[in-house]
Structure 1
Amino acid sequence: MEFSNKSIATADTLKIGKGKRVVVGLSGGVDSSVAAYILKEQGYEVIGMFMKNWHDDSVTISKECPWLDDSNDAMIVAQHLGIPFQAIDLSKEYKERIVDYMFAEYQRGRTPNPDVLCNREIKFDIFLNAALKIGADFVATGHYARKSEIEKEGKKIFRLLSGKDSNKDQSYFLCQLTQAQLSKSLFPVGELLKPEVREIARKINLVTADKKDSQGLCFVGKVHLPDFLQQRLEAKKGKVIEVPADSPAFKNGYEPSDLKNLSASYSLSADLGETIGEHKGAHYYTIGQRKGLNLGGYEKPLFVIGTDTNENIIYTGMGENHPGLYRKGLFVATTDIHWVRPDHTLEIGNSRKYSARVRYRQSLVPCTLNRSPEGLYIIFDSPQKSITPGQFAAWYDGDELIGSGVIN
């Protein structure tokens, strides 16, 4: 495969980085490795920095993503590229801002997104500030996203755009960034496809060229979530209730103007179905989950359609088309609304058409945002699957991410 210098822009042809220092968050993966290479080719003074965010290896599946191996790979890449390298320990901040928040959300029966939070609270806050203290003009990551600038009424505005590779687009994970954070951020691989990134890595003999993409928590590794949660959330047996598809709980008789009911979770109770088994704790499950129920013998797979951590009950429905998996809308409280583009803020009483997604890699779907005094109602043109409280909804105008919020 050939890759184009158009996206890389060598230092000989385009000195866009001349005189500017950038700290790259080297994760030990191929994307951040190639990001560092591209920036160096563009003439930046590049410094590689590895973030250590976690000390407890007891809940990580070490063969999948051991942080020590990642740190070593990041150091080897830095040496190969001839750039300075250092590691920074952010485990204290990560525990306070990400892990504690995760436990609190799961305790409430909600499902947080640690990757979105890690970007907002760690990479583009704590890490960014550490980079600025050593004289950096920017921080860079291996995210598949793009940034552009426009001027509006004499003011510079930064746009967060989807990555060129639609299969790897990671703009969703950056949906909580501010204009100030974007102004100091670079996403060098955003204009490339994943195969192009790997081909670049192979051509320059990077040790990470064919390394498997990491999974799991941001800069922590893949964790066994039940083990992780059981550090603080005790296992507690409770009922698994199956709610039939024809239950009155799923009958939608609401008018299109009834935003509150169209956006609400279904009201589920034990008398709507029958008990079919036991679980180990309602806070270990999330809406849309199929694995981990350990209940067989059904005509179709069972899915979690609701959880009640107060009563310690999980509600299930049979089949991926069960109506309990689908909702017409969602609600974001006023305090949880975030505008990446503050100039697009929706005023109370106004509405606007956008496209949105409620999880990473979900295709964008058309919706209408409706601003009310209590928050933002997002009503989809067609019902959407597995809308999960605690996750983030992000809305786009074309390929530009405009804003986001925590699903209530």
Structure 2
Amino acid sequence: MKRIVLGLSGGVDSAVSAVLLKKQGYQVDAVYLECWHEPGCRAEGDRQDALQVALQLDLPFQVLNFKKPYREKVMQYFLDEYQAGRTPNPDVMCNKIIKFGLFYDWAMKQGYDAIATGHYAKADGQFLYVPKDKIKDQTYFLYQIRQEQLAHVVFPLAELTKQAVRQLAHQAKLPVADKKDSVGICFVGDINVPKFLAENLGTKPGKIVDEHGNILGQHRGLWFHTVGQRHGFNYDKKKYAQLNPILHKDELPAMYVIDKNIKANELVIGPKQATRVKTLHVSNLHLLGLTQAELFKRTDLRVRIRHTGQLTDCEIKKMGNRYSVKLKQLVEGVASGQSAVFYTYEKAGRCLGGATIN
């Protein structure tokens, strides 16, 4: 009998995963990963819910304290990236550092055959695939999983939709059957990001300019904004209309963040079409199940630049220390620091890995 340790988060997905693993005959232990415990977060309630599920299902249960490494390696990365003018992806980093880093390494040292999580993803021991529920698909956040880990990872929800998971939770009379899904940052929850950034980074006022450098207003700090953002800034509409006399005052376009000039501390805004690009530059390429040479030769590549975002046909080439991704169609709101994750056309929807957008 295989020994599996399950990351029991206190939510319905990992709880149903526990039910499924037991039915499949695994010897299941449960672990709650404690990573963040600040005022306003739901960690205490989640831990109690996880314990209640473990007690109901008769699972050995323990808590692993990862608060220090989470703060130092995930949340500090989150702040550093914003301060550098980029848009971080903390869920990708959380999976890499915590769930498939510290938790996975701990489990292997304890002699478990595999770890299991409530992610909506699919793995066959060699490759990572899109799950049945395409809307809940979390492979975008999992692309940095290590190749050798795929033989020791189980995703029990691979063939289930969220609706089916809820139904199974009710059938099993789980105490979290109707619990709302967690949102926001991994382990932190739905925090007020601007307030969190202000508390940790302060403010650094600068100019808001258009594509030509004309001053239209003032921002509080570049870290409060990301490319593609439509709200959260004010600009002089009268001046913009004067600079663009071809536009009627009632026909001014909605304005978006199109760039951040870090050196000049300027926030660049413009109409929606200015956020569209057909080429990305990426670095830190991480691949699953194929070499770079094999990736470059593929003619069935698609890329996703945000979680649940559109899949766009593309091709990728190496250019020095980085890579150029040519898109078959324009995409909007490409933000530096976010992830570009690659997939194939094959029916199963194989995830090939990804990279960081420059």
How high is the TM-score relative to the length of structure 2?
Answer: 0.90
Tell me which residue corresponds to 2:72.
Answer: 96
1:308-327 maps to which residues of 2 (within 5 A)? 308-318=261-271, 322-327=272-277
Change (3 A) 1:185 1:306: same
User: Is 1:353–1:369's contact at 8 Å kept on the other side of the alignment?
Assistant: no
| Equivalent pairs, count | 342
Deviation at 1:350, TM superposition (A): 5.7
Tell me which residue corresponds to 1:78.
Answer: 54
User: Is 2:4–2:112's contact at 8 Å kept on the other side of the alignment?
Assistant: yes
> Deviations for 1:254-293, whole angstroms, at most 9, x for unmatched residues?
xxxxxxxxxxxxxxxxxx0432322110122110112322
Change (3 A) 1:136 1:403: same
The amino acid that maps onto 1:383 is: L
**Partner Cα separation in structure 1 for residue 298 and residue 133 of structure 2:** 31
**Partner Cα separation in structure 2 for residue 361 and residue 277 of structure 1:** 33
Tell me which residue corresponds to 1:11.
Answer: none
Tell me which residue corresponds to 2:7.
Answer: 25
Change (3 A) 1:49 1:296: farther
User: Is 1:283–1:309's contact at 8 Å kept on the other side of the alignment?
Assistant: no
**Partner Cα separation in structure 2 for residue 358 and residue 348 of structure 1:** 18
Tell me which residue corresponds to 2:332.
Answer: 385
**Partner Cα separation in structure 1 for residue 295 and residue 302 of structure 2:** 20
User: Is 2:37–2:44's contact at 8 Å kept on the other side of the alignment?
Assistant: no
Q: Which runs of 5+ in 1 are unaligned?
A: 1-18, 150-157, 244-271
SS in 2 for 1:232: helix
Deviation at 1:121, TM superposition (A): 1.1
Change (3 A) 1:76 1:368: same
Q: 1:175 aligns with which of 140, 143, 149?
A: 143
Tell me which residue corresponds to 1:204.
Answer: 172
Q: Which runs of 5+ in 2 are unaligned?
A: 238-249
Q: 2:130 aligns with which of 154, 162, 176?
A: 162
Tell me which residue corresponds to 1:286.
Answer: 226
Tell me which residue corresponds to 2:159.
Answer: 191
Q: 2:214 aligns with which of 274, 284, 287?
A: 274
Change (3 A) 1:351 1:145: closer
**Partner Cα separation in structure 1 for residue 30 and residue 258 of structure 2:** 44
The amino acid that maps onto 1:232 is: N
Deviation at 1:373, TM superposition (A): 3.4
Structure 1 position 113 matched with structure 2 position 80 = no
Tell me which residue corresponds to 1:12.
Answer: none
Deviation at 1:241, TM superposition (A): 1.9
> Deviations for 1:20-65, whole angstroms, at most 9, x for unmatched residues?
11111111111111111100111111111111111332xxxx3xx5
Identity %: 39
Tell me which residue corresponds to 2:195.
Answer: 227
**Partner Cα separation in structure 2 for residue 101 and residue 34 of structure 1:** 32
User: Is 1:348–1:371's contact at 8 Å kept on the other side of the alignment?
Assistant: no
The amino acid that maps onto 1:328 is: K
**Partner Cα separation in structure 2 for residue 175 and residue 54 of structure 1:** 23
The amino acid that maps onto 2:203 is: A
The amino acid that maps onto 2:282 is: V
**Partner Cα separation in structure 1 for residue 3 and residue 71 of structure 2:** 29
**Partner Cα separation in structure 1 for residue 16 and residue 295 of structure 2:** 44
Deviation at 1:193, TM superposition (A): 0.5
Tell me which residue corresponds to 2:113.
Answer: 137
> Deviations for 1:120-178, whole angstroms, at most 9, x for unmatched residues?
111011011122233211111111110114xxxxxxxx110001011111111101111
User: Is 1:147–1:161's contact at 8 Å kept on the other side of the alignment?
Assistant: yes
Change (3 A) 1:136 1:288: same
User: Is 2:20–2:156's contact at 8 Å kept on the other side of the alignment?
Assistant: yes
- 95-104 vs 389-398, greater mean Cα deviation: 95-104
